[in-house]
Amino acid sequence: MLNNTRKHTAVRTIAPRSNSRWIAALLGALLTPLALTGCTEQPERRAMPAQALDETFKDFGNYEVHFNALRTDELTPDVARAYGIQRSSNRVMLNVTVLRKEAEHAPRKPVEANVAVDAYNLNGQLKDIEMRRVSEGEAIYSIGEVSISGSEILVFDINVTPNGESAPFNVKLKREFVAN
């Protein structure tokens, strides 16, 4: 009796919408190998890092708000050190950037904005997150870190007010994280 073994690989890529190397280093591609053996066995199951299941930007007319959250141990040591981020499997970093649309099909331009975030888990426990401004060349980011414990679904209520605008743009990001 022959045992046919097939290997399937699923690839999910999150493409950055700006040219910044830093966003590319944060977002990257997530690779999930699944090995299937025989017809009756289940695929191998592994605990996976948080994956972008929801949208990672929202359009607000003349502006786009980009956002992402990931465990800080997914950052390279060099990136974490350069931006003063503590690498840990029980810490999550939120990254928010605001881009202004200059013209149709033209590159978006980063703009200064006030970014305020409320973070909480599904038990309603508030998480302390303080956003800080980071710039690299023309790129402008707001980043903040928050701790997690075990498996948590975090909700980030993000309020962004670009300089010169009076009303904030509101975005909600909900993501599951598993601390090792």
Tokens of 36: 């299937």
Global pTM reads 0.70
Q: Answer for the pair 119, 129: CB distance below 8 angstroms, yes or no.
A: yes
- The verdict on residue 89 lying in a domain is yes
- The verdict on residue 20 lying in a domain is no
What's the Cα-to-Cα distance from 28 to each of 79, 82, 108, 155, rounded to whole Å? 13, 18, 20, 22
User: What DSSP line would sit under 167-180, residue for residue?
Assistant: SPEEEEEEEEEE--
How far apart (Å, rounded) are the C-alpha atoms in residues 7 and 34? 7
Number of domains in the chain: 1
- The verdict on residue 3 lying in a domain is no
- The verdict on residue 11 lying in a domain is no
56-104 pLDDT per residue, tens: 899 999 999 999 999 999 999 999 999 999 999 999 999 999 999 988 8
45-57 pLDDT per residue, tens: 444 454 445 678 9
CATH number, domain with residue 169:
2.60.40.3340
- The verdict on residue 173 lying in a domain is yes
Domain assignment of residue 117, given as a range:
48-178
Per cent of the chain over pLDDT 70 is 70
- The verdict on residue 163 lying in a domain is yes
- The verdict on residue 143 lying in a domain is yes
How far apart (Å, rounded) are the C-alpha atoms in residues 76 and 86? 11
